[in-house]
Amino acid sequence: MIKFLKDKQILKILILAILIRLLIAPFYFHPDIKTYNFQSSFLSKGVWNIYDYLKDNQESLPLKEEFVYFPLTYFVLGGYQIIAQPFLGSDFKNWLSDASEQATDKIGTFRYLFILKLPYLFLDVALAFLLMSYFNTNEKKKNVLTLWLLNPFSLILIYVYSNVDILAVFLATLSLILAYKQKFILAALFLGIGAGFKVYPLLLLPIVVLMIKGFKQKFLMIGVCISIFFVIILPFLKSTIFFQSALVSGLTTRMFIPSINLGFNETLILPIILFTILFFLGIFEKNKKEKLMVYCFSLLLILFATIHFHIQWLLWLMPVAVVLAVSNKNLLPYIFTLITMVFLIPLLYEDKSMTVSLFSVISATYNNLPTPFSLIQKFYNPYVLQSILHSIFVGASLIFIWKIVKEDTA
Amino acid sequence: MPALLALAIRSVPDGFQSSLEWTEKIYGNMTVTQSFISNKDNLLAIGASIKNPMLINKKNLMVTIMDERGSSKIITVNGQNIKDGNFIKFTFEPIALAANHKFDVTFSSPDSTSNEAFEVFITKNPKPTDQNLTVNGQKKEGAIATVSFHKPANLISHSLNIYSQLISKFLGDRIFTIAYLFLIMIFLGSYFIIFSKKLN
């Protein structure tokens, strides 16, 4: 890494990328950053089980949402707040607990957003260097650093949408790269830890297990990953609120919604069907190691193709997409098109916080702008438009997956 | 992009909505009326939070704005467009000379029954300009948690006003502003130093 920092071109890209992030971070606001930081602030008061605490005290709390992340998110964000408290200032806790629209108008908002997003900046830049370690040639190392640091999608997802998923994404990516380098126990460890922040890394486990030769090693990897995950959630398993708010979360429930009814209370679940097809294609894949990122990208593409998703979840796709695009330059236009399409879908949701309210820290009057949903509603049904766009994305994704899985494009 | 979007802002709220404490029902002959004095000209909308549990009510909710000078406007919104607890803007033709004049806002829904009543949120912290909450003719404590909206007199000056307020807010946190600008200067300076070395 130090060798690469001596390269002026890489240094220039790195400085430019950090500069852009510093200029964006304080000036865009998504309400999630306030919500999960408000919830994590209770760690400094000695609260360990945030799930039960929020439920038991819901009546008296100004923000009444459940904590929908896994325990490590709470402890890491809460711990960071304790460390950063001298820089956040005495009014920070008041800002966090202010549930009104006036909160973003308060002096200090820019400071809070900047400091709260600083860990994301470190992980984001660290991810760039992590992705570099995947490649052997200097040219590809430079390309992946440039593409990761200067692509608009991850920039917007992390700093505009205040995406705490960067924690899980970093660990999941680390795990994939360790698996690629045949360090499977370490890969399993980090995949399990990543799942302690958000459950999605566990989706990648079957793909990573495919890379391993020998059943003993496969079971060892699954055992290590699941054990780490289990140790993290064990203290909270007695809590029914933990089950409802985190374990049975948006992702785990939405995956089971797209289905074909067979009658007699039985349904065929579409994402599971497609995951299974992908998995069995992987079993017969001759070039498993080189196709690891292809299969991971395909799995995540299937997920977004078949469920109603939050825009923040698209960050899961980005590191793998960047690696694929650098591995094979011919794929870049297709990957760019697919990601643009999938990015547009949630912007059509009926939710101000996805669009106009992102600017509310600049002025609360931006909240009065019409959303794309309400503009489209004047002349067409926006739900139909969402459905059309999502359907096009499904078709394009399936063909792209077929192409990259079947062909030697890695 | 925010600068361009600022030019698209067609209505500006006068302040923020007060806290939502309880609700009053609106159906049949049950009406809720609130008086307020407009702070600004070009009044073009009144916003309030309305309950319509499970979107059960698909009848019309009517809002009547009665000017103390005698003119009135009636805005009708169908219950199908009122999601439970949503903040609804009731928009009408702008009233140009609205500043310092009293308006009565009445919420009614004559076609609704008690089983499907709309409910309007009331605050226990009325604004200084709020007066006389009456529910079905009876005076009550509190006020409807409304926000009045006004048309900006000039879009460009309004946009400039947004950015001047942004700068004041930014400069209001002096320690952060100095540290932040210092950090930006370091990175900007480093970038141009490396860039100029490359050119040389």
Tens-level pLDDT at each residue, chain A (410 residues): 566 667 888 889 999 999 999 999 999 999 999 999 999 999 999 999 999 999 999 888 888 888 999 999 999 999 999 999 999 999 999 999 988 777 888 889 999 999 999 999 999 999 999 999 999 999 999 999 999 999 999 999 999 999 999 999 999 999 999 999 999 999 999 999 999 999 999 999 999 998 888 888 899 999 999 999 999 999 998 888 898 887 776 777 888 888 899 999 999 999 999 999 999 999 998 888 889 999 999 999 999 999 999 999 999 999 999 999 999 999 999 999 999 999 999 988 888 888 988 998 988 888 888 888 888 988 899 999 999 999 999 999 999 999 999 876 44
How many CA atoms does the CB half-sphere of A312 hold within 13 Å? Answer: 22
Disruptive mutation site among B180, B185, B195 for chain A (greatest number of A CBs within 10 Å): B180
Within an 8 Å CB–CB cutoff, is residue A23 touching chain B? yes
Residue B91 and residue B10 in contact, taking contact as beta carbons nearer than 8 Å: no
Higher pLDDT, B158 or A248: B158
> How many Å apart are CA A81 and CA A123, to the nearest integer?
17
Q: How many helices (H) and strands (E) does chain B have?
A: 3, 13
> How many Å apart are CA A325 and CA A331, to the nearest integer?
6
Does B65 have pLDDT greater than 70? yes
Disruptive mutation site among B14, B123, B183, B190 for chain A (greatest number of A CBs within 10 Å): B190
As a 3-state breakdown, chain B gives helix, strand, coil percent values, each rounded to 5, of: 30, 40, 30
Residue B31 and residue B136 in contact, taking contact as beta carbons nearer than 8 Å: yes
Q: Are strands A266-269 and B143-144 parallel, antiparallel or unpaired?
A: unpaired
Least confident of A1-15, A274-288, B27-41, B119-133: A1-15
Which residues, numbered 148 to 167 in chain B, qualify as contacts with chain A under a Cβ-Cβ cut-off of 8 Å? 149, 162, 165-166
Cα A354 to the chain's mean position, in Å?
Answer: 16
Give the pLDDT confidence score for residue A253 in this predicted structure: 80
Residue A376 and residue A385 in contact, taking contact as beta carbons nearer than 8 Å: yes
3-state secondary structure of B61: strand
Within an 8 Å CB–CB cutoff, is residue B187 touching chain A? yes
> How many Å apart are CA A235 and CA A288, to the nearest integer?
37
B194 contacts A12? CB cut-off 8 A: yes
Within an 8 Å CB–CB cutoff, is residue A107 touching chain B? yes
DSSP line for A324-344:
HHHH-GGGHHHHHHHHHHHHH
> How many Å apart are CA A374 and CA A352, to the nearest integer?
10
What is the total residue count of chain B? 200
Of all residues in chain A, the one with the smallest CA distance to B19 is: A100
B16 contacts A102? CB cut-off 8 A: yes
Q: What are residue B63's phi and psi, to 5 degrees?
A: -120, 120
Other Cβ atoms within 10 Å of B115 Cβ, number: 8
Q: What are residue B179's phi and psi, to 5 degrees?
A: -65, -45
Q: What is the mean pLDDT of chain B?
A: 88
Q: Where are the beta strands (DSSP E) in A239-287?
A: 259-263, 266-269
Cβ neighbours of B6 in A, within 8 Å:
363, 365-366
Whole-Å CA distances, A217 to A100, A221, A332: 53, 6, 35
DSSP state of B71: -
Residue A167 and residue A232 in contact, taking contact as beta carbons nearer than 8 Å: no
DSSP state of A162: T
Q: Which of A204, A212, A152, A143 is nearest to A183 (CA)?
A: A212
Cβ neighbours of A23 in B, within 8 Å:
184
> How many Å apart are CA B24 and CA A52, to the nearest integer?
33
Of all residues in chain A, the one with the smallest CA distance to B45 is: A368
A368 contacts B176? CB cut-off 8 A: no
Other Cβ atoms within 10 Å of A75 Cβ, number: 17
Query: What are A26's two structure tokens?
Result: 């304080």
For the stretch B131-163, what's the b/e string if a residue is b when 16 or more beta carbons lie within 10 angstroms of its beta carbon? eebebeeeeeebbbbbbbbbbbeeeeebbebbe
The ipTM assigned to this model is 0.87
Q: How far is B137 from chain A (nearest CA, A)?
A: 31
Give the pLDDT confidence score for residue A163 in this predicted structure: 92
Give the pLDDT confidence score for residue A410 in this predicted structure: 46
What is the total residue count of chain A? 410
A19 contacts B191? CB cut-off 8 A: yes
Those residues whose C-beta lies under 8 Å from the C-beta of residue A100, and which sit 6 or more positions away, are B16, B17, B19
Does B198 have pLDDT greater than 90? no
Within an 8 Å CB–CB cutoff, is residue B74 touching chain A? no
Q: Are strands B22-26 and B118-123 parallel, antiparallel or unpaired?
A: antiparallel
Alpha helices by DSSP H, listed for chain B, are: 2-6, 155-172, 174-199
Disruptive mutation site among A16, A105, A150, A363 for chain B (greatest number of B CBs within 10 Å): A363
Residue A302 and residue A272 in contact, taking contact as beta carbons nearer than 8 Å: no
Q: Name the residue facing B194 among A8, A19, A366 (closest C-beta).
A: A8
Span B4-28, average pLDDT: 84
Within an 8 Å CB–CB cutoff, is residue B5 touching chain A? yes
Give the pLDDT confidence score for residue B92 in this predicted structure: 92
Cβ neighbours of A110 in B, within 8 Å:
169-170, 173, 176, 180
B187 contacts A19? CB cut-off 8 A: yes
* pTM for this entry: 0.87
Give the pLDDT confidence score for residue B153 in this predicted structure: 77
Disruptive mutation site among B89, B187, B196, B199 for chain A (greatest number of A CBs within 10 Å): B187
Residue B19 and residue B115 in contact, taking contact as beta carbons nearer than 8 Å: no
Whole-Å CA distances, A75 to A40, A42, A55, A119, A267: 7, 10, 18, 14, 38
DSSP state of A211: T
> How many Å apart are CA A158 and CA A155, to the nearest integer?
6
Residue written as token pair 């439920």: A55
> How many Å apart are CA A112 and CA A96, to the nearest integer?
9
